[in-house]
Chain A
Amino acid sequence: MPLQSTPGHASFDVAVIGAGVVGCAVARRFALAGAKVVLVEKGADILSGASKANSAILHTGFDAPASSLELELVRAGREEYLEIYKQLGLSLVRTGALVCAWSELEAGKLEDIARQGRENGISELGLMTAAAARATMPTLSNGLVAALEVEGEHIIDPWSAPLAYLTQALALGCVFLRGTEVLRGEFDGRWRLETSAGILEVGAVVNAAGLYGDTVDKRLGLAPEFEIKPRKGQFVVLDKAAFRHVPRIVLPVPTEITKGIVVCPTAFGNVLIGPTAEEQDDRVRATVETRTLEALLVRGAEIVPALAGIPVTAVYAGLRPATEKKAYRVIARPEKRAITLGGIRSTGLSAALGLARHALQLHEGFGAAFAPPSALPAVSVPNLTETCQRDWQQPGHGEIVCHCELVTRREIEAALASPVPPGDFGGLRRRTRAGMGRCQGFYCNARLAEMTRGRLATPLAVDEGRKP
């Protein structure tokens, strides 16, 4: 998007670099505070990095490191989500979680996890016998030894939430530049950012570049304080037929490096099995691997035997922006008016709104103040989840385009005409769920190619074939 299209705005109070869930939340928070914000994203759409693939759990922080910034921000983020989700048209599935111990050894650790959880300020925790846990979820394998119930762990729609944050920011005057990469920056009282689409002049920068957090710091001439060590997580998504077997989030007893393989329902009525935790150097490729996917299916059926044989709907992988340390790498540099929100590894979806508040506070510490807008425009995004009415249930939807996920023509047209239209096919899928179901486009992909002609960075069709 050329900068000329935003006359008078090439100069901003704040530039947020990266439109992952964190960047979208930060743009919203600064816009709510009255700042003139520009959100710069190198991808063709929001959620081009770590944020496009996660487990969609709104965490409580029960297992976060004690008195860490991560704990504080996960709690703050969750609290704000619970306050605002309804107004923004977002969803919340109050599934609760069971941390399941499959051996005496693991069972022995539940007590510690519960104590830690209480110290972390989470009160709704309950140690349970296997029988009691299976009474709340009878499909759990009878190999269960004991469990810890964490009522506050919930499921959300991981794509609509950041979309709603950004939509609200845009309604407050934020400018979103996509397909725009930050290449260099110089600070001289104000920032001069060189991007692939031109120069931006801004008062302060917030680096929310996820997997490229370290790279962007370097490009801005900021002394590197961490290095990103991508950690891949692969998932299998099971057919909606699995949903009734998994009413709750099933967590394993975590280890030092990972939360482990989770079996959990999604807000869309599927079941996820994953993620793995695989260190890699590559920041781009998030591949799935046959063997790993097969192993996930086996593991899922060990935990919930009724999942055996249920067809696979989708497979995917995401990269966590981990660093050499476990902690978030939040760095404020008042002398440079720069904030880095780095290493938001595996709880960013939950903590995003908290991180955004924190960033604003840090920015206030730089001595800048904005005048908050007098009125807040009402903003809401379409519901894609099974928790509320879907468009196919309302008259006038035109037709069903994606049969597996029951996506209507009206929904697709609305997404294409929305304030943040999808920039690529992944973006369309995340905004509508079209093509995300069990047939993965057997029935609708060609129709979507037709409906999105000229609209996506990489078109579905290579060019026009011969008419039949």
Chain B
Amino acid sequence: MNTPADVLVVGGGPAGVAAALELRRRGVEKVVLLERDCHLGGATRHCSHSPFGMREFGRVYFGAGYGRRLEREAEQAGVDVRFGHSVVRLGEDGSVLVTSPQGVETLRARRIIASTGAREQPRSARLISGDRPIGVVTTGTLQSYVAFHGLMPFRRPVVVGSELVSLSAILTCLAHGARPVAMLEQGSHALARAPLTWLPSLTGIPFLRGAEIVDIRGRDRVEAVQIRHAGEIRTLECDGVLLTGRFTPEASLFLQSDTGVDAGSAGPAVDQDGRSANPLLFAGGNVLRAVETGGWAFREGRSVGAVVAADLKRDPAAPEFIPVTYDDPVKLTVPSLLRPSHLREGAFWHFQLRFRRRAVGRLSLELDGQAIWSRRGRWLPERRVLAPLPPRALLAAHVHFRFQEES
């Protein structure tokens, strides 16, 4: 491609496809979607027991079916989808370096939207002690084994984590003849909500709270784990460890670029339009923050697509931004930058927040030292928290989330 595209979308999960569809719907001519896989759908493709598509398409799809629907939509909308195209580097000048079976090329566009999703953190990043045998995998990996290859990495895993995805992991195990030995949660409470947290007991899998792995044992394949639970060290025999949740944005393209990532979210810092510090680069979907549902990612991608369609009509130069600051235990906000806007509608009408840990207290939003919103409550980690993002926030010099903890 010699002529630059209007927009390059990197990543064809729900967010990227939604952005591309919206750009085309708003009349943007040349929308190129680069997907390193040979299908669209991203992480939804291996989720065989979660319904997707109700809000966007008015019907329910499971697993790869949703991705196929996205493929049809993209084709009908005239999105130039290029499979097997892996973006290796984001240029600050609106270019990307891509590798595909044809070799490497540099593609250019007037704007770039990154929608590269999120993934679970592996054993290494969790710094878990022990041997390093085969059989320690994440939910995404397990689901890829069964959904794409009809294989299983273990039969009797110990499951670590109690997020929503942990329950999906258990369902996957049970549906494919694996019998989890136990489910461990480091904290004192499950992270997912009831009634989902009843699943382990309904299926007879011991759910140990306040438990963590202190040693993985096994020469070739996992043979056992030692756990610390209720002050005691115990050995659980097993043939695998299933690490669930602890999502992190797949933001390596930003991490390795001058734009960098946000310390809180580990994804690119964006403003109310989904625009990063570099005004040519936008982002939407789970790359912004871990972790949201497929439906949320789709809607977010669509909003960013709409903003980019409008932004194309202007000079890309953007005014200076201010960072959004917050007190501990707030872990992140999206957006985490704000800029005076020249657009009628931003991509985000809310601040999305996450908490680092359980906390009780009052969360307030202060514009230049003045609280304009506040809410008292019990705040839980990994739960979506929304706070309003009023237009006047874009004009403030200091935007801060204050947290007053109550013991």
Contact = CB atoms under 8 A, between A and B. Distances in A.
Contact of A449 (B63, B131, B153): B153
A312 interface: yes
Contacts of B141: 441-442, 445-446
Nearest to A445: B141
B215 A446 contact: no
A399 interface: yes
B134 A425 contact: yes
Contact of A460 (B122, B134, B155): B134
Interface stretch (B23-31, B101-109, B282-290, B325-333): B101-109
A458 B144 contact: no
Contact of A400 (B86, B127, B153): B86
Interface in A415-458: 424-425, 438-443, 445-447, 449-450, 457-458
Interface stretch (A26-34, A166-174, A281-289, A359-367): A281-289
B275 interface: no
Interface stretch (A73-81, A327-335, A390-398): A390-398
Interface string B118-149: 01101111011111101001101100111111
A461 B256 contact: no
A424 B219 CA distance: 12
Nearest to B219: A284
Contacts of A424: 220
A311 B260 CA distance: 13
Contacts of A141: none
Interface string B245-284: 0001010100110000001001000000000000000000
A449 to B, nearest CB: 5
A426 to B, nearest CB: 9
A425 to B, nearest CB: 6
Contact of B176 (A289, A398, A450, A466): A466
B129 to A, nearest CB: 5
B119 A439 contact: yes
Nearest to B143: A446
A316 B124 CA distance: 9
Contacts of A285: 131
A400 B177 contact: no
A399 B48 CA distance: 25
Given A315-B124, A462-B239, A287 B130 contact: yes
Nearest to A400: B86
Given A442-B141, A449-B149, A461-B152, A287 B104 contact: no
Nearest to A391: B99
Given A289-B129, A309-B263, A443 B119 contact: yes
Nearest to A458: B220
B381 to A, nearest CB: 19
Contact of A462 (B103, B127, B128, B155): B155
A282 to B, nearest CB: 11
Nearest to A436: B124
A449 B263 CA distance: 34
A205 interface: no
A424 B220 CA distance: 9
A464 B150 contact: yes
A139 interface: no
B66 interface: no
A463 B88 CA distance: 34
A314 interface: yes
A400 B148 CA distance: 17
Nearest to A288: B129
A465 B177 contact: yes
Interface string A298-330: 000000000001011111100000000000000
Contacts, number: 156
A288 B255 contact: no
A446 B99 contact: no
Given A314-B124, A446-B151, A395 B102 contact: yes
Interface in A395-410: 395-400, 403-404, 406
Contacts of B179: none
A422 B134 CA distance: 15
B401 interface: no
B144 A447 contact: yes
Contact of B145 (A239, A287, A294, A446): A446
Most buried by A among B101, B122, B123, B215: B122
Contacts of A395: 101-103
Nearest to A393: B104
Interface in B96-116: 99, 101-104
A124 B153 CA distance: 52
Contact of A461 (B104, B123, B153): B153
B402 interface: no
B154 interface: yes
Contacts of A5: none
A425 B250 CA distance: 25
Contacts of B102: 395
A374 B158 CA distance: 59
Interface string B6-48: 0000000000000000000000000000001010000000001
Given A458-B221, A460-B134, A462-B152, A446 B101 contact: no
A442 B152 contact: no
Contacts of A404: 252
A287 B131 contact: yes
A468 interface: yes
A141 B119 CA distance: 33
Contacts of A311: 125, 248, 255, 266
29 contacts: A240-B252, A241-B252, A286-B131, A287-B130, A287-B215, A288-B127, A290-B128, A312-B125, A315-B127, A315-B132, A392-B99, A392-B104, A395-B101, A396-B101, A397-B99, A425-B134, A439-B250, A440-B122, A441-B122, A446-B153, A449-B145, A449-B151, A450-B149, A458-B220, A460-B134, A461-B152, A463-B151, A465-B151, A465-B177
Given A393-B103, A464-B151, 10 more contacts: A290-B127, A316-B132, A392-B86, A397-B99, A439-B122, A443-B140, A445-B144, A464-B150, A465-B152, A468-B147
A-B pairs with lowest CB-CB distance, top 5: A440-B122, A446-B144, A395-B103, A461-B151, A465-B152
